[in-house]
Amino acid sequence: MAEFVTLEVDGGIGTIRLARPPMNALNRQVQEEIQAASREATERADVYSVIVYGGEKVFAAGADVKEFAGMTHAEITTRAWSLSSALGSVADIPKPTVAAITGYALGGGFEVALGCDRRIAGDNAKLGQPEILLGIIPGGGGTQRLARLIGPSRAKDLLYTGRFVTAQEALAIGMVDEVVAPDDVYSAAQRWAGQFVNGPVLAYAAAKAAVDGGLDTDLTSGLKLESHLFAALFATEDRAVGMKSFIENGPGKANFSGK
């Protein structure tokens, strides 16, 4: 049973909860437990959408520096891809995902948030990739996902300086999508995630695969991927139900089965 990371399911919404006080430092065990929780959220049919949450005070303040400090070059070389895979595992969940960010989301913590489809932050949050201050760079996807999210110039500014970004600046440059009062972060994430409960899960997965896959390739290849995923949905029960309901009752009234 996981010690620091759990998947809690309520009303179709899964919450991946990080709980390693005081700052949710992401040591190797936490990394592996995030990956296991992401896999469970993917496989469970009763989970329609996922919130990643570190609690009321902090999301995650980064990697466990003491653990890193004791590693040799040979050790980190064999471990680096596992680190990236674990911190990026939330991105592999084929369902709508949202990071509910309170307090600090730094380094590996922000890399976990970057793997979500949406980020909601408290107005007192501090975000960033300060790895440069340790003489290294992000190793859990930060250089790649951040540049895709806010553009290479802004990403390089944050990566070079290692500075902390306020919630207001993060919203302005696209690092987060919504800023609310700290006490409202989780409920705001619930409202967003709740939209997708009992929805067409295969279509959500296809939409996510089309966007994420298309960003990793050229436009022509992306359009071909979209066409393939679009056509595949015509083999689903939800497509038939959705179109029949639209014709008979108008939009937004279909009862999907997820098949």
The structure tokens 């497509």 sit at 239
Sheet with 104-106: list strands edge to edge.
104-106, 126-128, 165-166
Contact 139, 82 (CB under 8 A): no
User: Which pair of tokens denotes residue 170?
Assistant: 């993060």
Which residue of the set 131, 226, 237, 248 is catalytic?
Answer: 131
User: Which pair of tokens denotes residue 41?
Assistant: 């959220």
Which residue of the set 8, 32, 111, 169 is catalytic?
Answer: 111
Contact 81, 64 (CB under 8 A): no
Residue 169 designated active-site: no
Name, in order, each residue with C-beta under 8 angstroms of 210's C-beta and a sequence gap of 6 or more: 222, 225, 226, 229
Name, in order, each residue with C-beta under 8 angstroms of 24's C-beta and a sequence gap of 6 or more: 4, 18, 30, 54, 55, 58, 59, 60, 61, 109
Tell me the catalytic residues: 111, 131
